[in-house]
Amino acid sequence: MNARAPKNLLAALFLCSLALAAAAARAQEPQPATATQSSTQQQTLPSSPRPQLDSLALENRTDANWRHLPKNFVQDQKDLWLFPVEMGKGRHLLPSTLVIATTAALIATDPQTMPYFRQTDFFQDSDHALGSKVSGVVVAAVPATFYVVSLLRKDSHGQATSLLAGEAVVDDTILMIVTKAISRRLRPTDIPLNGKYSDTFFKSNSGPLGKGSSFPSGHAMMSFSIATIFAHRYRQHRWVPYVAYGVATAISFSRITTGAHFPSDVLFGAVTGFAIARFDVLHGQ
């Protein structure tokens, strides 16, 4: 292994740990009841309306409207950035470790895999079809168009779905900006075609918002967030998850074949995008 590889692995561990809120199972864990509480619950369980109230609260959380969005976004960010505290308590260790280990392994192999994608012409047609601008338009247009159509049809479920997708994209953007600004990883296209693809972290002259930094892939993050929202909200239609995740995968993979991102950038972006949507925005419902 190249002598610089450990440096990349350490960088991966640091950056993945920073963004772990979006990469782990954020299912809400019930608080253990005390002996007094258990006794009270046993006495009042038959007539207690609490289960119905809790159900209504969850329904309101996932049936978003413009009035709820600011409060929901603040709660999302609180859960996201306080996740290391949960890690310190020993929660979510297994999924977090798997994400970190897989991302670090891909970073270690990026110098071997990336030259193939940059030198092959096999994906040339798909690269033209799903370039950066085209895929960016798709990511932005899907929830916006769906909202307008749902508004015209007076479909409240469709409107809420679009707003939840937008909420997830905003959450993605905050995490992406912070991580990119810190990582400052060179993009593959910043490196000569036959150059060395190791020691890429903290080398990019990216702007204050992380523009130009490669890690993680924002396209992968946002496309998988949107796909997860639609796949979950319309899961009664069996074809929806296949189409949603299929399009997200195609967009994400195109980021590698066009040389915009390393495989590790795309994997981590896709995982965090999925987790933010599924466990932060939808709260595992």
Residue 57 is predicted with a pLDDT of 40
Query: Residue 6 contacts by C-beta under 8 Å, 6 or more apart in sequence?
Result: none
> ∠51-56-58 over CA atoms, to 5°?
95
Mean model confidence pLDDT for the chain: 79
Task: State the Cα–Cα distance between residues 124 and 230, nearest whole angstrom.
Answer: 29
Query: Percentage of residues in the chain with pLDDT exceeding 70?
Result: 74
| Domain with residues 5-23+64-281, CATH architecture | Up-down Bundle (1.20)
176-212 pLDDT, tens digit each: 999 999 999 999 999 998 888 989 999 988 777 778 8
pLDDT at 139: 86
pLDDT of residue 99: 92
For residue 210 the two structure tokens come to 């992380």
CB 179 within 8 A of CB 165: no
Instruction: Give percent above pLDDT 90 in the chain.
Output: 49
The residue among 175, 153, 178 whose CA lies nearest residue 271 is 175
Mark the ranges of the chain whose per-residue pLDDT is less than 70: 1-63, 124-132, 284-285
Amino acid at 279: F
CB crowding 21-32: b at 16 or more within 10 Å, else e: bbbbebeeeeee
Query: Structure pTM?
Result: 0.77
Q: Where are the domains of the chain?
A: 5-23+64-281
CA distance 47 to 40: 12
